[in-house]
Structure 1
């Protein structure tokens, strides 16, 4: 009878997760698609209870699961019962694992950088945020809007210029992230979301970061030299904004507005690269609309860090607006759409542009209306959705120019 009871107890340990026993079996969420995560249950073993099992930790690969499973099954029923305890550390580890899986707090998930790049290169790729392309898209869209607006009516935009600006956006965004991490390394160590960044965590020294910044700016200069002289001067002048932006959160509650001035410089530069000059009636409303758009998405983004920002002592529009954030960003959204409409009207763009603009207003209104500003995961999701807003506007400008 005792043997039967012990056998049943061991099977229950295999079926359910008991943090206190040192053994847990976790089932990945079917709602999250990741080809690297098996749909089979993953087994984790607390090495404080089973030091002889080796560094199993938590593996998602099927082979590792199978080996862990075999090892667990090889333990006698008596061992399972013998190691029942009330271990708070195991419960804490399980809670942190859930936070990581939900995308809220914790270490970043495995990305293509970890899988395909050499170990020596990985910290630099992470420093440039190559695994998070949303920043590059948000920097690139105003450039593509401007280049397409400057195209000859009835013709496609200059694809070579689009490609150059695409490479430039990737490099400049990476350089901006490097500057930000170098200047904010003392702050990043105190913020949960940023403390694992390469410079803050010590993977890279500040000197290595500076050397990498020089490499990025050198490549960016090579792209800038492909443009006309007017664009070279205009493009070089944006570096003042790029270098000073990370400091703004220390002095003003409006760093998001300063980021808007920086990130939307391409609205001016794209037109200048095609026309060799600026048309204020077209590019200034376009530039202003980009600044208001940035105030929308980066205020939403800043709500992820508002508790940490209060502790550290830095400022943001999320802290400035507080409970009135949605009212403020609604006003910014209206101003953004108004600037886009005025720019298109002055450019005498065709009617399809306004149909796309209506769709873009729906997308912008959707994210403002339903965003949960108390949820870090939802704020990040709505922030990332802005790449689609930029794509809709680009599609509208393209369609409008082709029929005008």
Structure 2
């Protein structure tokens, strides 16, 4: 029984919470800006739990979609489905249960947010299959991760998200595309062999340049968000830290080696945290 539970935990990556963090930070950015400070406790708890559930559900459906691919990729061949520890139907069941739990949480929010939550589930369910159809599944993932932003605004205000929310959405989408391309650089050789598409393959020798452009656009959008939301010194200090971390990530991927590229991907956790700490401090002081 314990072994089975351990396989389920690995299926939803509870042992690797980086995905939870990367989905959580933009969600918290949006909640603080929408509330102009500390959000309603119930809304905050619903979104934190929703992040954990939807990221876990996304991992389950991702492994289902990649069940025939993961055994051929060095980094993923030990995953529960690839190794035969769990069946495809079990992964589908986990995805369904976690998605339903997340939707049940959304029912605690207003009608507009509930409607937007349906889009969130559709984005999470379809993302893993996109790498078979086009070279930009990272953009699809960006939309899935960033969709919590308009939801946070509707949950807080009860109205359609304002311009600042959509600019923040676009910033999160571009940021996700940048860091997930770093992640895709780790698997580029394996992906080419097995015919899986990714932005890292599409960008080729221009990968660092395009990632850099995406990073600059993300930071510029976060600058505009700060101006529109009339944020002060603490936010801009967090923004400057984010600029420094973006430069550090470029240094890490300079040779396009798998392990440093993975480190650059993981480093984005601190970038998201820097922006959030700046927001919290700015509204607090």
TM-score bin, normalised by smaller chain? over 0.9
Gaps of 5+ in 1: 1-116
Give yes or no for the alignment of 1:213 onto 2:92: no
1:121 maps to what in 2?
Answer: 5
Relative contact order higher in (CA < 8 Å, ≥ 6 apart):
2
Give yes or no for the alignment of 1:194 onto 2:76: yes
Note the alpha carbon deviations across 1:90-124, whole angstroms, 9 max, x for none. xxxxxxxxxxxxxxxxxxxxxxxxxxx92121111
Gaps of 5+ in 2: none
Give yes or no for the alignment of 1:279 onto 2:161: yes
Pick from 228, 232, 235: which aligns with 1:346?
228
Pick from 286, 295, 308: which aligns with 2:190?
308
Q: Which secondary structure state, in structure 1, belongs to the residue aligned with residue 211 of structure 2?
A: helix
* Cα offset, 1:206, TM superposition: 1.3
Give yes or no for the alignment of 1:334 onto 2:216: yes
**Root-mean-square deviation (CA), in Å?**
1.5
Q: Is the 8 A contact 2:103 2:117 kept in 1?
A: no
1:102 maps to what in 2?
Answer: none
* Cα offset, 1:211, TM superposition: 1.9
* Cα offset, 1:373, TM superposition: 4.7
Q: Which secondary structure state, in structure 2, belongs to the residue aligned with residue 354 of structure 1?
A: helix
1:380 maps to what in 2?
Answer: 262
2:14 maps to what in 1?
Answer: 130
1:252 maps to what in 2?
Answer: 134
Give yes or no for the alignment of 1:161 onto 2:43: yes
Note the alpha carbon deviations across 1:149-193, whole angstroms, 9 max, x for none. 0124xx433343222211111110111111111111111121111
Q: C-alpha distance in 2, partners of 1:221/1:260?
A: 20
- C-alpha change, 1:373 and 1:260, in structure 2 (3 Å) is farther
Q: C-alpha distance in 2, partners of 1:321/1:289?
A: 20
1:92 maps to what in 2?
Answer: none
* Cα offset, 1:402, TM superposition: 3.1
**TM-score between both structures, scaled by the size of structure 1:** 0.68
Q: C-alpha distance in 2, partners of 1:219/1:239?
A: 11
Q: Is the 8 A contact 1:300 1:373 kept in 2?
A: no
1:291 maps to what in 2?
Answer: 173
- C-alpha change, 1:401 and 1:278, in structure 2 (3 Å) is farther
Q: Which secondary structure state, in structure 2, belongs to the residue aligned with residue 119 of structure 1?
A: helix
Note the alpha carbon deviations across 1:105-151, whole angstroms, 9 max, x for none. xxxxxxxxxxxx92121111111000000001111111100000012
* Cα offset, 1:278, TM superposition: 2.9
Q: Is the 8 A contact 1:134 1:384 kept in 2?
A: yes
**TM-score between both structures, scaled by the size of structure 2:** 0.95
Pick from 195, 202, 205: which aligns with 1:320?
202
